[in-house]
Amino acid sequence: MPARAMTLREGLRNPCLGALPAELASHELVRAAWDGIAADKLWDAHAHLLGTGDSGSGCTENARMHERWHPGDVVRRRAILNAACVGSDAVSVDGAYLQRLRSLADDFPIGARWLLYAFDHAHDDAGQRRTDWTTFHVPNACGEEKAVPGAGRDDLGNPLLVRHALSAGVRVIVAHAASLGHARDIDQPSQAMRPAFDLWARLMDEHDWQTQLFGDISAVFQANRTPQARRVVIQRDDWHARLLHGSDYPLPGVMPLYAPDALAAEGLLDARDADVLRRIRAHNPLLFDFVLKRSVRIGESRLPRRIFETRDFFTQTRHA
């Protein structure tokens, strides 16, 4: 089935409402989401810190995002900052981003953590840093990229190329379970383009990588992913030990990217639960993302606790 495009059902702008009302915080759907989860093991394996460097953080953004003659970039910047509830009047973009993230985290039990990605500069074939190709840069000191444009080198996002790292013994987490875009099937003489998700699925089933290859499920429930990818992720319980929870924050706050009603229409959610999720999202997109993933079901199949309790994955040294 084809992926939906973005949706306008949820409006364009994140309403950025304040603290979660008690009625939602103690809602039966939220309590069910937490049931059995050890909060101190809940590490969000894919979240973003973004900023402009106005706090001395070392973050940078491309000047293009302020130039009227690059309207796409200007709109993208606005959408991302709105998702993170950074107002145009913020004294410091860096500070407002962090403050909002902290207040969203306050709705989670003590012990939950977020792993914030650095965002490298784009580099050219000669290894030279290209600030002109770089949308955001987040220094490390604190697949097919679609949320922000990079160097236009999506060919390097082919999941099958991950075999090089796996063969060298590296543990690899494929972001978003490669759930967006197409890549060349370099295993076949025709080298036809195939959904990147199918190529990642092929690697997941290859015997040699069972202890090394993983996927994070951030963004899989976004409106621009295929229903088929969602169904596979929920139903392949033999993969669940190798899937990791990630929110891809701040994207759960980009309103056109999620449509709980559409997930209900796919049969993954109860219509009443979709409504509760929508109300949670208006206050806390991060909690929305967690409760959504804990609520989706196909018959008896659901995303189990172990996908969300990722702490041990990051803290335990593994030996092949």
Q: Does 248 bind Zn ion (CB under 5 A)?
A: yes
User: In the chain, where does DSSP find H-type helix?
Assistant: 22-25, 28-34, 71-83, 93-105, 162-167, 196-205, 227-235, 260-265, 271-283, 285-295, 305-308, 311-315
Q: Which stretch binds Zn ion (CB under 5 A): 125-133, 153-161, 196-204, 245-253?
A: 245-253
Give min distance, CB of 104 to Zn ion, in A. 16
Give min distance, CB of 46 to Zn ion, in A. 6
Q: Which stretch binds Zn ion (CB under 5 A): 95-103, 183-191, 225-233, 241-249?
A: 241-249
Give min distance, CB of 246 to Zn ion, in A. 8
What 3 state SS string does 145-177 have? CCCCCCCCCHHHHCHHHHHHHHHCCCCEEEHHH
Query: Residue with CB nearest Zn ion?
Result: 248
Look at the alpha carbons of 6, 301, 42, 102 in this order and tell me if their dihedral is positive or negative.
positive
Q: How many CB atoms lie within 10 A of CB 26?
A: 10
Q: Which stretch binds Zn ion (CB under 5 A): 65-73, 242-250, 258-266, 268-276?
A: 242-250
Task: Scan for tokens 């103690």, then name that residue.
Answer: 26
Residues 67-126 within binding reach of Zn ion (CB under 5 A): none
Nearest CB to Zn ion, comparing residues 107 and 248: 248
Nearest CB to Zn ion, comparing residues 25 and 115: 115
Q: Which stretch binds Zn ion (CB under 5 A): 154-162, 191-199, 248-256, 258-266?
A: 248-256
Distance CA(244)–CA(236), nearest Å, equals: 14
Q: Which stretch binds Zn ion (CB under 5 A): 155-163, 232-240, 244-252, 259-267?
A: 244-252
Residues 262-301 within binding reach of Zn ion (CB under 5 A): none
For 130, the 3-state DSSP assignment is strand
| Count of chain residues binding Zn ion (CB under 5 A) | 1
Dihedral of CA atoms 273, 5, 233, 263 in degrees, nearest 10, equals 20
Fill in the amino acid letter for 221.
F
Residue 63: how many CA atoms within 13 Å on its side-chain side? 2
Nearest CB to Zn ion, comparing residues 94 and 248: 248
Nearest CB to Zn ion, comparing residues 108 and 249: 249
Residues contributing to the site for Zn ion (CB under 5 A): 248
